[in-house]
């Protein structure tokens, strides 16, 4: 992995120097694109780029980043220096750029991203077959700034093969918190020493999905766009839940959990055989399944069928730098990447389920991972509500929550102290 990332880093430097954006001598058009993903996705992306270049002659110089935070940090630094990429992968929310407003207004967005409406009108960008929800997700103040290429939902993935080998009960797709807790303890009783029922997903280096879901399910939304509905007592209740599981041995001790970053299948305890269930995004099932010979399945987060606090997440919005030196070619690639079925023949479901009928049809019915996602979304989609915005300064929020959760797990601070630190972090980030 280190060798591959080193090679990618060298290629990024090379592409930046040799393939500056814009038209090059001889009429060659070059577009720079920054994105991230696991190794399998990076290979698929390059295959899609190769087809586009063969058809159009436009060179798309990919600049993959090693992770989400590094990706956005790099874009902000390069943008300030006037050397940012033409196309930027925006994740599922504009807040990843560090913007305060994420739901209604274009405040701050127009300072970074190019409105795409003119390119829709002149036919360069075809959105005629793109799902309405996807278009709405990329629109602020009546202007289209980004196109999500796929959608997915929060989920739990469990190792069905492992459970069957040890004679543990298989879970129901939908369970209450009490049922889930009882099931974890039943599973743990059957597992060998050193293997745990569940990954510690209280907070990870780059994500607070489980915490955000729990907050909504608890009736205390983490952030509604203007304020938090949490109190310190609520957050303590959350930390106490994980502490109870840790004490019961159904999640790993802190020193074991620390060995797994849980950013993708390459750094996941469940793939290493240390846990039986973990929180992922539904589109992650492809990468996770491809990384193990065991059979993996998806289930809902606890209580979703009761409170309907799951949400649909638009995956990997694609946007154009407002200062792009080659916006026409960049938008042309964006239209291709969103609409052309050949792209999804390479990508599969690594981004999620496509936002166009042609993309979904390209996946076919023969891929078991596609069926798992579609079947999961058929159930979980009925238990979903509106998505709340990300916490302002999302990257800092995720890393800060992770640090606090780690300190609680290691016993450096207790749950009450951790809860107070979380409330102070929210106050600082939302001032």
Which tens digit of pLDDT belongs to each residue from 191-206? 999 999 999 999 888 7
Spatial distance between the Cα atoms of 118 and 328, rounded to a whole number of angstroms: 11
Residues 206, 290: Cα–Cα separation, whole Å: 22
**Pairwise CA distance, residues 212 & 192, whole Å:** 32
Kindly state the tokens that stand for 122: 């002149």
pLDDT of 4 above 70? no
pLDDT at 15 over 70: no
Q: What is the DSSP letter of 324?
A: -
Buried b (16+ CB within 10 A) or exposed e, 406-424: bbbbeeebebebbbebbbe
Residue 100 φ then ψ, to 5°:
-75, -45
Q: What is the pLDDT of residue 106?
A: 58
Q: Determine the Cα–Cα distance for residues 384 and 149; give it in Å rounded to an integer.
A: 20
Q: In the prediction, which pLDDT does 133 show?
A: 74
Average pLDDT for residues 414-430, to the nearest whole number? 98
**Cα-Cα-Cα-Cα dihedral sign, residues 217, 223, 229, 231:** positive
Please say whether the dihedral angle defined by the alpha carbons of residues 281, 285, 290 and 294, taken in this order, is positive or negative: positive
> Cα 10 to chain center, whole Å?
26
HSE of 44, CA atoms in CB hemisphere, 13 A: 19
- Segment 13-24 shows an average pLDDT of 49
Phi, psi of 388 (to 5 degrees): -75, 155
**Measured distance CA(249)–CA(282) in Å, rounded:** 26
Instruction: Report, at the CATH architecture level, how domain 154-311+382-429 is classified.
Output: 3-Layer(aba) Sandwich (3.40)
Q: Which residue has the higher pLDDT, 314 or 419?
A: 419
Q: How far apart are the first and last CA of the chain?
A: 40
pLDDT of residue 356: 87
Higher-pLDDT residue of 289, 224: 289
Tell me whether domains 2-151+314-380 and 154-311+382-429 share a fold: yes
- On whether the CB atoms of residues 66 and 367 are closer than 8 A, the answer is no
CB 261 within 8 A of CB 242: no
Residue 257: alpha-carbon gap to chain centroid: 20
User: How do 139-140 and 87-89 pair as beta strands?
Assistant: unpaired
User: CB of 262 within 8 A of CB of 288?
Assistant: no
Task: State the pLDDT at residue 384.
Answer: 82
Global confidence as pTM? 0.69
Q: Which helix (H) or strand (E) holds 276?
A: strand 275-281
Task: Please give the Cα distance from 33 to 52 (Å, whole number).
Answer: 13
CA atoms of 337 and 343, how far apart (whole Å): 6
User: CA-based diameter of the chain, in Å?
Assistant: 68
Nearest residue to 268 (alpha-carbon basis) of 156, 412, 149, 399: 156
Q: Where are the domains of the chain?
A: 2-151+314-380, 154-311+382-429
81-113 residue pLDDT tens: 999 999 999 887 787 776 654 444 555 888 899
- pLDDT band at residue 388, thresholds of 50, 70 and 90? confident
d(CA 279, CA 270) in angstroms, rounded, equals 10
Phi-psi region of 233 (alpha: psi -120 to 50; beta: other; left: phi over 0): alpha
In this predicted structure, what is the pLDDT of residue 273? 98
What is the side-by-side strand order in the sheet with 296-299? 196-198, 275-281, 154-159, 296-299
Superfamily of domain 2-151+314-380: Periplasmic binding protein-like II (3.40.190.10)
Report the relative pairing of strands 353-354 and 146-152 from DSSP bridges: antiparallel
Strand 29-36 to 87-89 pairing: parallel
pLDDT at 259 over 70: yes
Q: Of all residues in the chain, what percent carry a pLDDT higher than 90?
A: 61
pLDDT at res. 1:
43
């Amino acid at each position: 992995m280190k060798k591959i990332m080193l090679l990618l880093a060298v290629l990024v430097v090379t592409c930046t120097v040799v393939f500056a954006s814009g038209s090059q001598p001889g009429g060659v058009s070059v577009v720079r694109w920054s994105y991230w993903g696991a190794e399998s996705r990076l290979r698929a992306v390059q295959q899609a780029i190769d087809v586009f270049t063969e058809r159009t002659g436009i060179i798309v110089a990919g600049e993959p980043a090693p992770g989400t935070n590094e990706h956005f940090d790099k874009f902000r630094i390069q943008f300030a220096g006037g050397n940012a990429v033409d196309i930027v992968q925006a994740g599922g929310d504009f807040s990843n750029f560090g913007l305060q407003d994420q739901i209604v207004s274009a405040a701050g967005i127009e300072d970074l991203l190019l409105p795409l409406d003119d390119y829709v009108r002149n036919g360069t960008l075809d959105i005629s077959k793109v799902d309405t929800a996807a278009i709405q997700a990329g629109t602020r103040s009546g202007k289209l700034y980004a196109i999500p290429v796929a959608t997915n939902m929060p989920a739990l993935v469990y190792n069905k093969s492992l459970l069957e080998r040890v004679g543990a009960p298989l879970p129901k797709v939908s369970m209450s918190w009490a049922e889930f807790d009882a099931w974890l303890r039943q599973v743990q009783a059957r597992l060998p020493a050193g293997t745990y029922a569940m990954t510690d997903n209280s907070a990870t280096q780059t994500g607070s999905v489980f915490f955000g879901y729990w907050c909504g399910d608890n009736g205390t939304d983490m952030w509604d766009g203007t304020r938090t509905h949490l109190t310190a007592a609520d957050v303590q209740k959350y930390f106490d839940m994980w502490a109870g599981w840790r004490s019961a041995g159904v999640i790993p001790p802190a020193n074991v959990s620390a060995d797994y970053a849980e950013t993708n299948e390459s750094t996941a305890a469940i793939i290493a055989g240390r846990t039986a269930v973990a929180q992922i995004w539904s589109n992650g099932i492809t990468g996770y399944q491809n990384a193990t010979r065991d059979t993996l399945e998806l289930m809902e987060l606890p209580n979703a069928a009761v409170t309907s606090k799951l949400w649909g997440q638009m995956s990997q919005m694609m946007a154009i730098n407002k200062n792009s030196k080659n916006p026409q070619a960049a938008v042309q690639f964006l239209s291709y990447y969103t609409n052309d079925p050949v792209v999804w023949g390479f990508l599969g479901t690594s981004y999620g389920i496509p936002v166009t009928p042609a993309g979904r049809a390209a996946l076919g019915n023969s891929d078991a991972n596609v069926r798992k996602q579609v079947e999961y979304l058929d159930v979980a989609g009925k238990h979903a509500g509106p998505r709340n915005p990300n916490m302002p300064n999302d990257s800092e929020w995720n890393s800060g929550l992770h640090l606090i959760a780690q300190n609680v797990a290691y016993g450096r601070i207790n749950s009450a102290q951790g809860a107070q630190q979380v409330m102070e972090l929210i106050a600082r980030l939302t001032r």
